[in-house]
Homo-oligomer: A and B are copies of this chain.
Amino acid sequence: MGAVSALNGEPTGTLGLPRVPPARPKGRRPSIADVASFAGVSHQTVSRVLNKHPSVREITRARVLAAIEQLGYRPNSAARALASGRTKTLGVVALDTSLYGPVSTMFGIQSAAQRSGYFVSVVAVHSIDRLSVTEAIRRLSAQAVEGIAIIAPFGQAHDALSDLPTGTPVVAVEGDPEADVSVVTVDQVAGGKMATEHLLARGHETVLHVAGPDEWLEARGRTAGWREALLAAGADVVPPLAGDWTARSGYEAGQVLAKIPDASAIFVANDQMALGVLRALYEKERRVPEDVAVVGFDDIDEAAYFIPPLTTVRQDFQRVGAATVQVLVDQLRTGSRHQEHVVIEPELVCRQSSEAR
């Protein structure tokens, strides 16, 4: 057995392996074949060990593992991908922004993918038009990712999904539940509703709304929830002002709202804009929460340190990421292309900005 690898009388270790690995000719990294001849087995046996195939004797496995260790062998992922057709890589299309939600979602997906043994390749898109998304998907499929998560959460993204390589599982994260792809999403409508109901329950006659950009499905959902809650309570529905998620736009909206004398409660579609609203109210000397109550959305790290600390709606992005990877991996495993629709419930976090008057 082990004698094969010790023919030339080299000193041998306990497993019958030569102690000094032979240098590979070209300084190239050792391949499975090198490991095989070093361990005195066939390359296939090495492959079996690498893939944890059950029918390998313990002693053989130990020899192979020792050889791998000695030679410093690392599997070549390109070769593996070529032979098996599997790249163990998921693609993520992310919006090039430091917005809390998209970034957190991306890391949520990354960390879940890692736990499932997948690599993550990221393509950032600078804007939300169909062309960019199509191009991003093209890039990812050129890289032969096994599944794709699209975070850019706006209506147009779905158009681009038709250009997909058929057979590649896709999840639209924060996507349109009506679209004909799998979707993992936080229940934005419920979030908008609970924020609004919270304010109504505090005795406000109605709730004004600073919405996000209308292309964003999240913005639409939050607005829909707000409207629903108002209608259910029979409250006035004042047309919302739309911002662009930035504090600046929130500030501008806040300047308008501050001029409305009987404005007493505002639901802002994200925390950054809420910051701008707070600032506008402060400048107009409308106290929060005494004169005006404000609720945001996202629960960014800073929300608890706004002046005053912001009541807001928290989304669990780790769960979003985990669900996204779960859907992709399931579809990969079963081969089914059944459309999953996972909805994750948000949670209201009460702070000073909406305290009872």
Interface residues of A (CB under 8 A from B): 74-79, 81-82, 87, 89, 96-98, 100, 103-104, 107, 110-111, 114, 119-124, 126, 139, 141-144, 246-248, 250-251, 272, 275-276, 278-279, 282, 300-302, 304-307
Q: Pick from B87, B104, B119, B275: contact of A78, CB below 8 A.
A: B87
Q: How far is the CA of A143 from the CA of B81 in the complex (A)?
A: 10
How many monomers of this protein are in the complex? 2
Q: Pick from B77, B98, B103: contact of A301, CB below 8 A.
A: B98
**Cβ of A96: which chain B residues have Cβ within 8 Å of it?**
107, 110-111
**Cβ of A304: which chain B residues have Cβ within 8 Å of it?**
247-248
Q: List 12 A-B contacts (CB under 8 A).
A: A74-B142, A82-B82, A98-B103, A98-B104, A98-B300, A98-B301, A119-B139, A120-B122, A247-B301, A247-B302, A279-B306, A282-B307
**Cβ of A122: which chain B residues have Cβ within 8 Å of it?**
110, 120-122
Does B143 lie within 8 Å of A77, measured CB to CB? yes
**Cβ of A89: which chain B residues have Cβ within 8 Å of it?**
121, 143
Chain A at the B interface: mostly helix, strand, loop or mixed?
Answer: helix
Minimum C-beta distance from A82 to chain B (A): 4
Does A305 lie within 8 Å of B251, measured CB to CB? yes
Q: A301-B272, A305-B276, A305-B279 are in contact. Are A114 and B124 (CB under 8 A)?
A: yes
Q: How far is the CA of A248 from the CA of B120 in the complex (A)?
A: 32
Q: How far is the CA of A29 from the CA of B82 in the complex (A)?
A: 13
**Cβ of A306: which chain B residues have Cβ within 8 Å of it?**
275, 279
Q: Pick from B76, B97, B107, B300: contact of A144, CB below 8 A.
A: B76
Q: A104-B98, A120-B122 are in contact. Are A77 and B142 (CB under 8 A)?
A: yes
**Cβ of A300: which chain B residues have Cβ within 8 Å of it?**
98
**Cβ of A305: which chain B residues have Cβ within 8 Å of it?**
247-248, 250-251, 275-276, 279
Minimum C-beta distance from A85 to chain B (A): 8
Minimum C-beta distance from A270 to chain B (A): 11
